[in-house]
Structure 1
C-alpha cells in the first residue's frame, strides 16, 4: 500500500464527503461527539455496502487501510489538476 502524497488532507475531505453522502442517503446522522475512527469505519462499511469501493479482505481491515481506501475514493472524485492530486 503506497501512501498518497496528500493522504492526510484527502482523508479529512473524504470524511466530510462520506458524512454528507451517508446523511443525504438517510442512513446515518453523525454526532459531534463521534470519533474520527468511528466515522471512518462507518463510511468505509457504507461505501463497501453501496459498492462504491472495493472491499478489503477482512483480515486486512484496519484503521490505516480504511483511511487509505477513503483517501483513494475521494481522490478519484476530484477534477484533474486539483492541488491535492499533485
Structure 2
C-alpha cells in the first residue's frame, strides 16, 4: 500500500462527506461523541455495502487500511484541479 501525499487531509474530508452520505442514505447519524475510528468503520462498511468501494481482503480490514480506502475514494470524488488530488 502506497501512502498518499495528502492522505490525512483526504481522510478528514472523507469523514465529513461520508457523514453527510450516511445521513442522506438514512443509515444513521454521527454524534459528536462518536470516535473517529467508529466513523471510519461505519462509512467504510456503508460504501462497501453500496458498492462504491471494493472491500478489503479478509484479515486486512483494519483501521489503517480502511483510512487508505476512504482517502482513495475521496480523491476520486474531487475535481481534477483540486489541491488534494495527487499529481
Determine the C-alpha separation between the residues in 2 that align with 1:57 and 1:46: 16
Q: What is residue 80 of structure 2 aligned with on the other side?
A: 80
Determine the C-alpha separation between the residues in 1 that align with 2:12 and 2:29: 18
What is the CA distance between 1:29 and its match in structure 2? 1.1
| TM-score normalised according to structure 1 size | 0.97
Q: What is residue 2 of structure 2 aligned with on the other side?
A: 2
| TM-score normalised according to structure 2 size | 0.96
How many residue pairs end up in the alignment?
86
Q: What is residue 34 of structure 1 aligned with on the other side?
A: 34
Deviation digits for residues 64-84 of structure 1, max 9, x if unmatched?
A: 000000000000000012101
- Which structure has greater helix proportion? 1
1:1-86 aligned within 5 A: 1-86=1-86
SS of match in other structure, 1:85: coil
What is the CA distance between 1:3 and its match in structure 2? 0.4
RMSD between superposed Cα atoms in Å: 0.7
Determine the C-alpha separation between the residues in 1 that align with 2:60 and 2:6: 22
Determine the C-alpha separation between the residues in 1 that align with 2:85 and 2:21: 22
